[in-house]
Amino acid sequence: MDPAHIAERLKTKFGDAVTEVRLDVPDPHAMIAPAHVAEIGLYLRDDPDLDFKSLMCLSGVDYGDRLGVAYHLHSLTHRHRFCYKADLSREPGAARLPSVVGVWPAADWHEREAYDLVGIVFEGHPDLRRILLPDDWEGHPLRKDYQFPREWHGIPI
């Protein structure tokens, strides 16, 4: 199935949760309201025609004016790919959305990484800790407004 059909099915199934479908870009994708990422993920995984058993990549991004999370899926049985994304506000504390660890266990470390580097909070994640940086690191380095620290525990960088 091509992305257009998949997006169409999502639209009929979830209605307003799919805010936009972009098909004329290099990576066709659907924009999803952040609150619905987990249930849409579950549908994409369990529908026998879609069967997206595999989460290739989950990425957090700071566009400068907003934050985003992108879910890249593929299906080993149907050999098709799909991508859906959610935009989040950059307001402090507003970057929250449901975790998809329950849908794809692969999201576990990816979500921890997105939390660590971009500062997106995944609600319902079983163990949302920093993964790459030390536990006591301040800030999220992949934010565009991140200030490079001058020192760490008294060690000048």
Partner 1 sequence: MSGITSYFRNIYEGVTTVLYGMRVTMKYLKSPAITLQYPMEKMVMFERFRGLLHNRAEDCIGCGQCVRACPVDCFTMVIQKAGKDEDLGLTRDGTAKKLHLYQFDIDTLKCMWCNLCTEVCPTECLLMTGEYEVSSYQRDGWHLRFAIEEPPPGFDMEEARLKQNRITNPVTYAGAADPKSLVIPEGSARPLSGAAEFDWMASRQAQVAAKGAKAHEAKPAPEPKPVSESKPAPPESKPAPPEAEPAGE
Partner 2 sequence: MSELHTEEMVLNMGPQHPSTHGVLRLQLVTDGEVVREAEPHIGYLHRCAEKIGENVNYVQFVPYTDRMDYLAGMNCNYAFAHAVEQLTDLKVPERAEYIRILVLELNRLASHLVAFGTYGLDIGAFTPFFYAFRERERILDLFEELCGARLTYNYVRIGGVMADLTPGWLGKTKNFIDYFEPKIREYDELLSYNKIFIKRTAQVGVLPADLAIAYGVTGPNLRGSGVKWDLRKEEPYSIYDRFDFDVPVGKGEMGILGDCWDRYMVRIREMRESVKIIRQAMDGIPAEGPVVAEEIGKSVKTKAGELYTRVENPRGEMGFWVVSSGKDTPIRCKVRAPSFCNMSVFKEISRGAMIADLIAIVGSLDIVLGEIDR
User: Tokens at residue 52, please?
Assistant: 């997206």
Residue 31's binding partner out of partner 2, partner 1, none, with CB under 5 to 8 Å set by partner kind: none
Instruction: Identify residue 121 by its one-letter amino acid code.
Output: V
Site string for partner 2, 60-99 (x = CB under 8 A): -xxxx-----x-x---x--x---x----------------
Choice from 15, 16, 26, 157 touching partner 2 (CB under 8 A): 26
Beta carbon nearer to partner 2, 63 or 124? 63
Choice from 1, 21, 42, 106 touching partner 2 (CB under 8 A): 106
**134 in contact with partner 1 (CB under 8 A):** no
CA atoms within 13 A on the CB side of 140: 23
Task: Report DSSP letters for 27-91, one per residue.
Answer: S-EEEE-GGGHHHHHHHHHH-TTT---EEEEEEEEE-SSSEEEEEEEE-TTT--EEEEEEEE--S
| Least distance from partner 2 to the Cβ atom of residue 143, Å | 10
| Least distance from partner 2 to the Cβ atom of residue 12, Å | 25
**Residues listed for the chain:** 157
60/78 Cα distance (integer angstroms) = 27
Q: Which residues bind partner 1 (CB under 8 A)?
A: 148, 156-157
